[in-house]
Amino acid sequence: MSRKYFGTDGIRGRVGQFPMTAQTVMKLGWAAGKVLASKGNREVLIGKDTRISGYLFESALEAGLASAGINSSMLGPMPTPAIAYLTSTFRAAAGIVISASHNPYYDNGLKFFSSEGSKLPDEVELEIEAMMEQEMTTVDSADLGRAVRINDAAGRYIEFCKSTFPSGMRLTGMKIVVDAANGAGYDIARRVFDELGADVVSVGAEPNGTNINKDCGATAPDNLRAHVLLERADLGVALDGDGDRLIMVDHRGEIVDGDEILYVLAKARHDAGTLEGGVAGTLMTNLGLERALEKMGVPFARAGVGDRYVMELLKQHGWRLGGENSGHIICLDRVTTGDAIVAALEVLSVVKATGEPLAKLRGEMQLYPQVLKNVPLANKVDFSGNVAINDAVKAAEQSLGDAGRILLRPSGTEPLVRVMVEGKVANDVERICQQVANTVGEQLG
């Protein structure tokens, strides 16, 4: 069955345009409610980030669920991983997050979590898709769902985050800048690090409904870099708007991306004998991480781009650690989904345990120069059989040898092809990437 609503990470779009309209979201609530009610559990949690449209969709979603006989517990602004965790602890049928993650405020979306706190299974999403084709009805008045607010949700999640940090260890003596992207973690992130003893400088913590992710947070780390240097902090932590991505900055003001964070965690666990298998990355994971893990004798595998696929690969291999260079870090021995705060605490525990600054820990792995160019297309086409493009890729691979790699990846949402090249010499990487991009543009543009 083809999908009309769900993508690889829930439902997302421009506010006021399909599918992110009040009418569609209300019916999605109803359709999800009908599917969930058929399985017996009628309790759902609803959380959101700080977008102004969250009020609109929270009401629409609750109305749709109520009309299907589902009770809603409203959490208010709450990081996506917090909703995953609370869905499990409340024994709810599902958790629904109203968020467009790292997108600008004028977008919004819906993410669904199962009762176990993981992404909703494909078969349940397909059932909801099928139910959307049915006419919306309302249960008898006596069976309508009710809505309540959970007032202590933030406190519950804060205590959970702290519980993942080593017992007896504190962050006393560390000065940390925390950039919450004016998003869902604007208050919670600061409180977690503060309660563990850190001297916290909080930025990106004044949401007004339209400034989420705007020039701050994990997608704009220069803001964090500037504050780390200004405050002479030990390091900085940046979340994205819904709190599932983590980017860090060391005391020198250098950005530490998801690949470097994965290396720091993998090495610490490998040295301690607690890694439990290998590490999962994606097609975009830097070759430097793969080489560094190889040197340690740690298995590594690549999934498609997206934390959903990283999760699938981890479960397939029985591994516990994986992530993306964009900052989705998954520690399956701690959480059921990507969690920026928990991942940051994992890194901080390594810093405290080793007594080494983040700059030294990340410096033990060398990232390969990587260039990414987007080539616009007139329309989406299958270029797999294009002789000129295939010849250009083969020539690039021969030039790079074992010291690099090339990847052509069509966008899933736009008419363009992403050309990515990695290698040891930055000038060569730039030149080869441009040559291949030119060929793609000439053939398909």
Q: Are strands 235-239 and 175-179 parallel, antiparallel or unpaired?
A: parallel
Other C-beta atoms lying within 10 Å of the C-beta of residue 274: 11
Distance from C-alpha of 432 to C-alpha of 396, rounded to nearest angstrom? 6
Contact 369, 362 (CB under 8 A): no
Q: Which is the catalytic residue, given 101, 114, 115, 118?
A: 101
Distance from C-alpha of 389 to C-alpha of 438, rounded to nearest angstrom? 10
Question: Could you tell me the two tokens for 59?
Answer: 């009401």
Q: Is 429 left (phi over 0), alpha (psi -120 to 50) or beta?
A: alpha
Which residues neighbour 212 within 8 Å (Cβ) at sequence distance 6 or greater? 49, 50, 51, 104, 105, 181, 182, 183, 241
Q: Give SS3 for 108.
A: strand
Amino acid type, 411 = S
Q: Give me the sign of the Cα torsion angle 71, 73, 74, 79.
A: negative
Instruction: Identify the H or E element spanning 72.
Output: strand 71-77
Distance from C-alpha of 339 to C-alpha of 1, rounded to nearest angstrom? 31
Contact 349, 338 (CB under 8 A): no
Distances (CA, A) of 307 to 219, 269, 283, 302, 322: 16, 21, 12, 12, 9
Q: Is 99 a catalytic residue?
A: no
The total number of residues written for the chain in this structure:
445
HSE toward the beta carbon, residue 22, CA cutoff 13 A: 8
Which residues neighbour 136 within 8 Å (Cβ) at sequence distance 6 or greater? 27, 30, 64, 67
Catalytic sites, residue numbers: 101
